Amino acid sequence: MTDENRVVNHRAGNEPLFGNVAHFMGFPSYEGAGCAAEAVITGVPFDLATTGRPGARLGPWAIRQASSNLLWETVRWPWEFELTSKLEVADAGDLQVPPGDASRLTEQLEQHASALLSAGKHLVTFGGDHFITLPLLRAHARSLGPLALIHFDAHTDNYRGGLYDHGTFLATALREGLILPERSVQIGIRTAYDKLHHPFTVLDALQVDKTPAAALVQTIQEITAGQLCYLSFDIDCLDPAFAPSTGTPVVGGVSTTKALEILRQLTSCRLVGMDLVEVAPATQQVDVTALAAATLVLDYLYLVAAGR
Ligand SMILES: [Mn+2]
């Protein structure tokens, strides 16, 4: 490889970008606690808690497939280093989800996450619907104490209702003391919520549209300052123009450009984990949604690496 093409040939040799897309970005398999990787990806193909269109169980598959579009940059724009020079990442594949058993899935995902956290790993998880964030928050809070939440979404997910509902997971997390509401922030909201009693700071979709990313980032950093932060990204935070393939799309959302601009600047947040949920590829004509998701995750990994 010559110096000129050092930044654009991710894969050694002549392997085609679209060949053997078993893992996100072609990262190696996670081989258990002895594995040197610092960040570990897991797919959770579960969508029994969705209230709108189903299909998020195929999200992990679609995000991994779409990541093949991102393989050719060794040094991803606009970052100025090679991700794997600072952060070793492995892909643990998909969690085995028992068909029709939301209760067992919840236990299995929490156990899986707890085992990774005990091994000192940084978790990045692909949904699945947004319910999967609840067992992930349980595992993180058990390991690290109550967390600040940076939550990108069209919906507050703080609704009243049953346990296995992707729109109630945050109310449950709050009741269980997993997150610190006064240190948490929701970004891109554009659906009804009780403003008088809402426990979180909201940067709604109109504010996100009108405010420069740097100012939004400053607000996020002030709210979460000093706290360990978990980042949950519901792909429906993005406008359906950018991410149509999702269970409960809402127009008037955030652009991919703005979301990436915000994400890349969260450098002073003490991030401990991330999930990317609600990619439902069965509804998609092309892979634009999964590509947005794959790109957001890759930029998140760069963000973590930049702090090393
Ligand atoms: Mn949502």
The DSSP secondary structure of the chain, one letter per residue, reads --STTTTT--SSTT--TTS---SGGGPPBP-STT---SEEEEEE---TT-SS---GGGHHHHHHHHGGGGTT-SS-TT--S-HHHH--EEEEEE--PPTT-HHHHHHHHHHHHHHHHHTTPEEEEEESSGGGHHHHHHHHHHHH-SBEEEEE-SS-----S-SS-TTTHHHHHHHTT-B-GGG-EEES--S---TTT--SEEE-HHHHHHS-HHHHHHHHHHHHTTSEEEEEEEGGGB-TTT---BSS--SS-B-HHHHHHHHHT-TTSEEEEEEEE-B-GGG-SSTHHHHHHHHHHHHHHHHHHHT-
2 falls in which pLDDT band (50, 70, 90)? very low
Q: Which residues surround ligand 1, an ion (CB under 5 A)?
A: 153-155, 234, 236
Query: What pLDDT sits at residue 32?
Result: 87
Centre of ligand 1 from the C-alpha of residue 11, in Å: 35
Q: What is the mean pLDDT of residues 70-94?
A: 95
CA 243 / ligand 1 centre spacing (Å): 12
**pLDDT band at residue 3 under the 50/70/90 scheme:** very low
Per the model's pLDDT, the better-predicted residue between 156 and 21 turns out to be 156
30-41 pLDDT, tens digit per residue, is: 998 789 999 999
Query: What's residue 225's pLDDT?
Result: 97
- For 158-167, 260-269, 286-295, which range has the lowest pLDDT when averaged over its residues? 286-295
pLDDT above 90 covers what percent of the chain? 83
pLDDT in tens, 201-257: 999 999 999 999 999 999 999 999 999 999 999 999 999 999 999 999 999 999 999
What's the gap in Å between 176 CA and the centre of ligand 1?
A: 21
Please determine, for residue 9, whether its predicted confidence score (pLDDT) is greater than 70: no
The pLDDT of residue 174 is above 90 = yes
Q: Confidence band (pLDDT; 50, 70, 90) for 1?
A: very low
Distance 155 CA to ligand 1 centre (A): 5
> What is the 236 CA–ligand 1 centroid distance (Å)?
5
240 Cα–ligand 1 center, Å: 12
Give distance in angstroms: CA of 237 to centre of ligand 1.
7
The predicted pLDDT at position 139 comes to 98
Q: What is the share, in percent, of the chain residues with pLDDT greater than 70?
A: 92
Model pTM above 0.95: no
- CA 119 to centroid of ligand 1, rounded, Å: 31
Distance 153 CA to ligand 1 centre (A): 5
Question: Which tens digit of pLDDT belongs to each residue from 101-123?
Answer: 999 999 999 999 999 999 999 99
- Choose between 45 and 287: higher pLDDT: 45
pLDDT tier, 15 (very low <50, low <70, confident <90, very high otherwise): low
Residues 101-118, buried b or exposed e (16+ Cβ, 10 A)? ebeebbebbbebbbebbe
State pLDDT tens for residues 148-169. Answer: 999 999 999 999 999 999 999 9
More confident residue, 160 or 260: 260
Assess whether pLDDT exceeds 80 at residue 25.
yes
Looking at residues 129-142, what average pLDDT do you find? 98
Cα 250 to ligand 1 centroid, rounded to whole Å: 9
Q: What domains can be seen in the chain, in order of their start residue? A: 24-306 (3.40.800.10)
Average pLDDT over residues 117-134: 97
- The rounded Å distance from CA 16 to ligand 1 centre is 35
Ligand 1 centroid distance, CA of 300 (Å): 19
